[in-house]
């Protein structure tokens, strides 16, 4: 029997709520939704046997301890570890990678080398940077083609000083799989292979023994489990040699005033009280996945991913997007940027999709070196087994309906000419008169054309912090009246900037303070329809202007 996505989706209560009846959720690479069984398991822990684990003789503590060790065994089976003692529970994949980087690098010598790729999530980059600085280590990076690390170049990078290779098994930003299974045989003795499998565990069967890795990390919330719990696999022989990362309760055998003896792995690396309810939820998520037809799920997701990329490729023929991803060897992620002549940014497209109750992710996706090399922020759509073709059709239809009037702007050459955008004929009533959010959005995009480009003010002291997109504001005072020049590449923020100028430009300080900007914003319904980050960005602009005046 073929995998049934509709039956699968029915097990997720979020989709059954009336407020989510139209929701198209395509942000699964950030976090998946939870099936009812995961929620039930967490509630069951709190309502039936909530207690701290280990070192206690009472019944509730024994039940909690048995649950934790049972889930540890489940996790070992899920990734085919040899022993449950090779599984360490952390708060997430990020904490797991910090643990590995800090503990492993304590055993290295100055000048030893760590090999990474430029495609890594910040969680598999920044901890190594910190450890390298602390221990005088060298970081080396695989070359890439369109962001994909070229494993064929690995032998040229390896030396006798290479002590770790740390790579993602799949890119969270672009979705491509990395053949980490082929790496271990290339490494010198004593060189650890560290694998971030966060984006693979929901889509592929992962076998740490077949992979040959020494460490592997994952986060439960990426594969239908709860937030706040991650897993770290470490080969038993290596864990026995590593010093602990954090100190405290549970990770010791004997404590004296001057020193301590540490517990064996895995408890040596689990200082303090773990997120016990989340561990119960992880166990339920593993059972849930093991009850599914994993091969059928993978086939379904692969076909859906092909459809997603095919539709986006067709859309790009007459819509100003540039697709960054390919269907083949991809875990279900599509990402695109916008063409320069579009006059909009990916943030604008994400806002437009949000108005249609379509959840996507926009930005650098915690992979800034990778995305900077490809031109900056992208809009990412990421699939799970509860998605379907109707979801993709909704995305395409919404993008096709987005107003993309041609925008022509004038670049002004001097600092003085940056002030005084031509807003003749622009009136607040034009926005008030629009009867729906879609019409007001179109009015804002029409206003955007009135905001000229101002390269002279794109300097650090004019940059506004707290905005989703980059915005610059310059200020000058003439005869006690305050004038502002605003520049941004975001189409929506350009329109909002015109609104701000209508309300506040050319005012005295007293007149500026008397304008009820927040009230106008609310009356126009903008707070209801703009994303929270975009609304906060609007306030950041006003606050920045107020600081210049006072």
Alpha helices in 30-166 (DSSP H): 36-48, 59-79, 93-105, 126-135, 154-157
Catalytic positions = 366
Residue 181 carries which DSSP code? Answer: G
* Nearest to 26, CA basis, from 468, 312, 395, 285: 395
Q: What is the dihedral of CA 430, 435, 439, 444, to 10 degrees?
A: 40
Q: What residues contact 103, with CB distance under 8 A and at least 6 apart? A: 242, 243, 244, 245, 269
DSSP secondary structure of 428-460: HHHHHT--SHHHHHHHHHHHHTTS-B-GGG-SG
Q: What is the dihedral of CA 421, 424, 429, 430, to 10 degrees?
A: -80
Strands 24-25 and 358-359: parallel
Residue 191 structure tokens:
């060189």
Residue 359 structure tokens:
């959840």
Q: Give CA–CA dist 43/116, Å, rounded.
A: 40
Q: Give CA–CA dist 178/380, Å, rounded.
A: 19
Which residue's structure tokens are 């609007």?
538
Answer positive or negative: Cα dihedral of 101, 104, 105, 106.
positive
The answer to whether 397 and 311 are in contact (CB under 8 A) is no
The b-or-e profile of 97-118 (16+ CB within 10 A means b, else e) is bbbbbbbbbeebeeebbbbbbb
Rounded to 10°, the helix 389-400/346-355 angle is 120
Residue 40 structure tokens:
């039930």
* Nearest to 212, CA basis, from 188, 184, 235: 184
The answer to whether 342 and 428 are in contact (CB under 8 A) is no
């Amino acid at each position: 029997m073929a995998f049934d996505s509709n039956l699968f989706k029915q097990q997720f209560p979020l989709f059954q709520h009336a407020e989510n009846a139209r929701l198209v959720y395509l942000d699964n690479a950030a976090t998946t939704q939870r099936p009812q069984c995961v929620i039930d398991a967490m509630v069951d822990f709190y309502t039936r046997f909530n207690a701290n684990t280990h070192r206690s003789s009472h019944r509730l503590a024994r039940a909690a301890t048995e649950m934790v060790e049972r889930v540890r065994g489940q996790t070992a089976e899920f990734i085919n570890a040899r022993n449950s003692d090779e599984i360490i529970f952390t708060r997430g994949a990020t904490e797991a990678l910090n643990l590995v980087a800090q503990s492993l690098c304590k055993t290295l010598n100055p000048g030893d080398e760590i090999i990474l790729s430029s495609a890594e999530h910040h969680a598999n980059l920044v901890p190594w940077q910190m450890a390298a600085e602390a221990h005088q280590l060298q970081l080396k990076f695989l070359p890439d083609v369109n962001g994909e690390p070229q494993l064929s170049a690995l032998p040229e990078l390896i030396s006798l000083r290479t002590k770790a290779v740390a790579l993602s098994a799949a890119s969270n930003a672009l979705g491509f799989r990395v053949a980490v299974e082929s790496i271990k045989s290339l490494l010198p003795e004593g060189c650890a292979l560290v694998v971030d499998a966060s984006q693979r565990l929901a889509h592929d069967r992962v076998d740490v023994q077949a992979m040959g890795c020494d460490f592997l990390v994952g986060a439960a919330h990426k594969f239908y489990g709860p937030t706040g719990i991650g897993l770290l696999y470490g080969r038993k022989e290596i864990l026995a040699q590593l010093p602990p990362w954090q100190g405290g309760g549970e990770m010791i055998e004997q404590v004296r005033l001057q020193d301590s003896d540490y517990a064996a792995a895995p408890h040596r690396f689990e200082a303090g009280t773990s997120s016990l309810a989340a561990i119960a939820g992880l166990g339920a998520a593993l059972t849930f996945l093991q009850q599914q037809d994993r091969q059928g799920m993978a086939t379904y997701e692969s076909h859906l991913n092909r459809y997603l990329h095919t539709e986006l490729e067709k859309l790009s023929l007459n819509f100003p997007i540039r697709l960054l991803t390919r269907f083949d060897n991809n875990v279900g992620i599509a990402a695109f940027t916008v063409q320069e002549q579009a006059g909009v940014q990916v943030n604008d497209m994400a806002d437009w999709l949000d108005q249609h109750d379509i959840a996507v992710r926009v930005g650098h996706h915690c992979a800034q070196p990778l995305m900077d090399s490809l031109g900056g922020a992208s809009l990412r759509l990421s699939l799970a087994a509860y998605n379907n073709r109707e979801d993709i059709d909704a995305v395409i239809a919404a993008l096709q309906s987005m107003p993309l009037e041609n925008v022509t702007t004038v670049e002004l050459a001097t600092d003085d000419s940056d002030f005084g955008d031509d807003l003749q004929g622009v009136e607040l009533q034009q926005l008030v008169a629009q009867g729906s959010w879609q019409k007001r959005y179109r009015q804002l995009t029409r206003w955007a054309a009135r905001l000229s480009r101002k390269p002279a003010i794109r300097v650090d002291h004019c940059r506004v912090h707290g905005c989703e997109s980059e915005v610059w504001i310059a200020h000058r005072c003439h005869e006690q009246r305050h004038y502002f020049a605003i520049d941004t590449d975001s189409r929506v923020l350009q329109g909002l900037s015109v609104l701000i100028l209508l309300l506040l430009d050319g005012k005295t300080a007293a007149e500026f303070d008397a304008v009820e900007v927040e009230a106008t914003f609310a009356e126009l319904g903008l707070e209801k329809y703009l994303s929270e980050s975009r609304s906060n960005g609007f306030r950041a602009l006003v606050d920045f202007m107020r600081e210049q005046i006072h």
